[in-house]
Amino acid sequence: MLRYLYTLLYILAAPLLCVRWVYKSFKPPQYREPLRERFGIVRKETKESIWFHAVSMGESNAAIAIIKRLLAKYPDLNIIVTTTTPTGARQIFNGLGDKVTHHYSPCDLPGTIKRFIRRAKPKLLVIMETELWPNWLHHLKEQQIPVILANGRLSERSAQKYEKVFSLADEMMDAFVKVLSVNEHDAERFQRIGLNRDKSVVTGNIKFDMDIPQFTDHEYYPDWIDEAVWIAASTHKGEDELILKAHQLICNQVPDARLILVPRHPERFESVARLVEESGFRMARRSQPSGWKQEAQVLLGDTMGEMMKAFNISNITWIGGSFAEIGGHNPIEPAVLAKPVITGPHIFNFNEIFCDLIDAGGAQMVNDEEELAELVVELMQNTSKASGMGQKALQVIEANRGALDKTVSVIEGYL
C-alpha cells in the first residue's frame, strides 16, 4: 500500500525535518516555530473544536474570511487554525487575534496526527486550497471526523503527478466529505484522481469576495504619491535580476519611474537589497522610514502583510513567480484595486484566473524583461489605457463574487 511506503520515506526524512525545525526554533520571535507543535504537542482543548488548516498567507486570507463569517453567526465556536509558515501564522494573528487558537501544522506521521487529534478534539477539519496529507486524511477518516477541502485548486501539472500514484490519491479523496472547487476545471481534475462526483461542489474562488480595502495614500510610501510607480510583487529567486534589468530599461525612457520590489519570502530581503545596491539604483526600504527619500528609484518591500498598501500606490502591477517556473501568484488583489495586471508566461497555478483577466483585457502576458519594460513604459505613457485595463480587471472580480456564501453554507451543514 502506497501510504505505508510514503510513511516509511517520511520517517527516513524525519531527522532532516527535525534539523530544519530546530533551526527555525532559534530564529527571531516573528519567525520562530515551536518544535513541539510539529509533533502534535499542543494545548489540550476542553471542548470540541473546528480545525482550519492554511499553508501560508494566501490560504490564511481565505480562511480568515470564512472564520469571520462563521463567528458572526456562531460566536461560541472553538476554532483552531494551523499554518505551515510563519507568514501564514502572522496573517491569522493580524486578522483574527485571540478569536482563534493558532498552532503550527503537525507533521504527517501517524503518531503525530493521532496525538494532535486527541489534544485538539476536532469535530471537523477544513483544509484550504490543496493540502493533501495521506496520514492526516487516513486517521481523520478512521475516527469519523469529516474533512472539507475549501477553495479547492488542482493544477493540471499536479493532477498528472497524482495520477501516477492513483491508489494513494484515491484513498485521500475518499477521506473528504466535500471538495469545494473554485471552478469546473479543478472539479474535473479532482474527480480524475478519485473524488466521487457526489462529493464535488463548485463554489467559486473565495478570494474574489475580498472586501475592497480603504487606504490613505500616506500609508506605504508618501514620497511617491502621483509618481510613475510600478510594482513587482512576490518575486522569487532569479526574478529580481530580471526585474531590475527591466526597471533600467524603463528608466531610460521614463526617468522618473519608480519600482516597488517585494520578494515573496522574508528570508530573501537582505539578498535582494544587495542586488538592488549592486544594480546602482538609489534604494529605500519600507521597514526603515527614517531613510526614505523622494529620489529613491527602488523601494524594497521588506515587510509582511502590506502588499495591498503597496498595490494601492502602484499604477501598474507585475505578479511574480511567473518568470521563474513557480506557476504565478494570485492576481486578484491588484485587480480588486482596479490595477492593470502583467504576468510572465508561467501561470499554471492560477491559469483560469489569469486567462479570464487576459480575455477581458484586464491583464497582459509578457515573455521576458524586455517585453515587460516595453509594456510598463507604454502604460506609464498612456494612462487612459492603464486605467481601462484596471477597470476591466475589476469587472472580472465583480462578476465572480459569491463563493464565500456558498462555502460557509456547506460548512454549516457539518457544525
DSSP state of 315: S
Distance CA 126, CA 313 (A): 35
Angle at CA of residue 160, ends 157 and 161, nearest 5°: 90
- Which residue has cell 498612456? 382
CB 157 within 8 Å of CB 413: no
- Select from 343, 330, 348 the least CA-distant residue to 157: 348
> Which residue among 33, 37, 59, 129 is the active-site one?
59
SS3 content of the chain, % helix, strand, coil (to 5): 50, 15, 30
CB 289 within 8 Å of CB 219: no
DSSP letters along 112-161, please? HHHHHHHHH-EEEEEEESS---HHHHHHHHHTT--EEEEEE---HHHHHH
- Residue 194, CA distances (Å) to 81, 163, 170, 181, 272 in order: 27, 9, 4, 14, 43
- Annotated catalytic, 59? yes
Hey, is 354 helix, strand or coil?
helix
- Residue 259, CA distances (Å) to 185, 227, 275 in order: 36, 10, 14
Known catalytic residues are: 59
